[in-house]
Structure 1
Amino acid sequence: MDYGDRNIGVAISDAFGWTAQGKEVVHKRRDGGEVERIAELVKEYEVTEIVVGLPKNMNNTIGPRGEISIAFAEQLQTRLNLPVHLWDERLTTVSAERTLIEADVSRKKRKLVVDKMAATLILQNYLDSKTKR
């Protein structure tokens, strides 16, 4: 997941844990309803682990955005009773944006999919790291 100020990009891996596919963008709500939507997705796709992007600073420290992501990961772990892994997401949104620009996707359409694409990159990087071990 790519946890942002307004949206949460969601990606799911295939059954073998080889590839990540973007699924949707969950819009954050004041009542916390986004966690319920994530719970529905967990059940629908039989999710056994969750990966949440951890936005670190370029010097490897964790700033305010990182602290918010950590709190969200803890909330998910408590609510869903699943392992939640934090994964360094530095520059994934930048990379997703660049890829969409190179594909000549309009600015309006980019705004709709950039969070989902960033989530896909975060998950794919996590999956790739597991296969290298």
Structure 2
Amino acid sequence: MTENVVYPPVRQLRRGVRVAVDVGGVRVGVAKTDSSGILATPVGTFQRGKNDLSAVVDLVKESDTLEVYVGLPKNMDGTEGKTAKDARKWARRISRMVAPVAVRLIDERLTTVSAHRLLHESGRRENTHRIVVDQVSAVIILENALEFERNTGGLPGIALNGESHD
């Protein structure tokens, strides 16, 4: 007997490049999509407080970016600690620099753990993860945001003004 499987409709994504940022204390990982929002690729890892903001601003300007997603590292219970407050502060700074491009905060619980696991599974030695783990985390943030938009048709994450669509 054949079961009828009903799949949710796949929604058309808005066109435009999306940029995702994993903000760490030392490094900032950056990823972006193609203009169709289909493929998320790592862009680079930048030194926090040196070239991180300018690298993102340059990428947004050269890519005709639709939105910037900044990872919000919440605690497992959903509360926000010091790192989340730091990410919010970074997001507010970049928002002023890339306006009118929207900046949205994306819950990134466990993305770094997932990034380390993916790197390990790909055969990369543990001591070489540090230089790329933030980029992989940014790709995961971006893929999660795209999946949310595809599945719901809504905007992923939280706008800096507190508006939530997830």
| 3-state DSSP of counterpart to 1:74 | helix
Identity %: 34
Give ranges in structure 1 of 5+ residues lacking alignment. Answer: none
Instruction: Tell me the matched-pair count.
Output: 131
Calculate the aligned-residue CA RMSD, in Å: 1.2
Q: 2:128 matched to which residue of 1?
A: 109
Mapped to 2, the partners of 1:19 and 1:54 lie a distance apart of 22
Residue 13 (str. 1) matches residue 37 (str. 2):
no
Specify the structure having the higher radius of gyration (Cα). Answer: 2
Deviates more, 1:87-96 or 1:12-21: 12-21
Q: 2:78 matched to which residue of 1?
A: 60
Q: 127, 131, 139: which one pairs with 1:120?
A: 139
Q: Relative to total residues, which structure has the larger helix share, 1 or 2?
A: 1
Tell me, yes or no, if the aligned pair for 1:26 and 1:37 is still in contact at 8 Å: yes
Tell me, yes or no, if the aligned pair for 1:13 and 1:21 is still in contact at 8 Å: yes
CA displacement 1:31-69 (0-9 Å, x = unmatched):
x54211211111222212100000001101111110110
CA displacement 1:75-103 (0-9 Å, x = unmatched):
11111102100000000000010111112
| 3-state DSSP of counterpart to 1:17 | coil
Tell me, yes or no, if the aligned pair for 1:92 and 1:122 is still in contact at 8 Å: yes
TM-score when scaled to structure 2? 0.75
Deviates more, 1:105-114 or 1:45-54: 105-114
Residue 89 (str. 1) matches residue 108 (str. 2):
yes
TM-score when scaled to structure 1? 0.93
Q: 17, 20, 25: which one pairs with 2:45?
A: 25
Greater length-normalized contact order (CA 8 Å, ≥ 6 residues apart): 1
Tell me, yes or no, if the aligned pair for 1:22 and 1:119 is still in contact at 8 Å: yes
Tell me, yes or no, if the aligned pair for 1:10 and 1:116 is still in contact at 8 Å: yes
| 3-state DSSP of counterpart to 2:38 | coil
Give ranges in structure 2 of 5+ residues lacking alignment. Answer: 1-20, 153-166
Alignment-mate amino acid for residue 39 of structure 2: T
Mapped to 1, the partners of 2:55 and 2:122 lie a distance apart of 30
Q: 29, 48, 69: which one pairs with 1:51?
A: 69
Q: 31, 37, 47: which one pairs with 2:55?
A: 37
Mapped to 2, the partners of 1:37 and 1:23 lie a distance apart of 10
Alignment-mate amino acid for residue 100 of structure 1: L
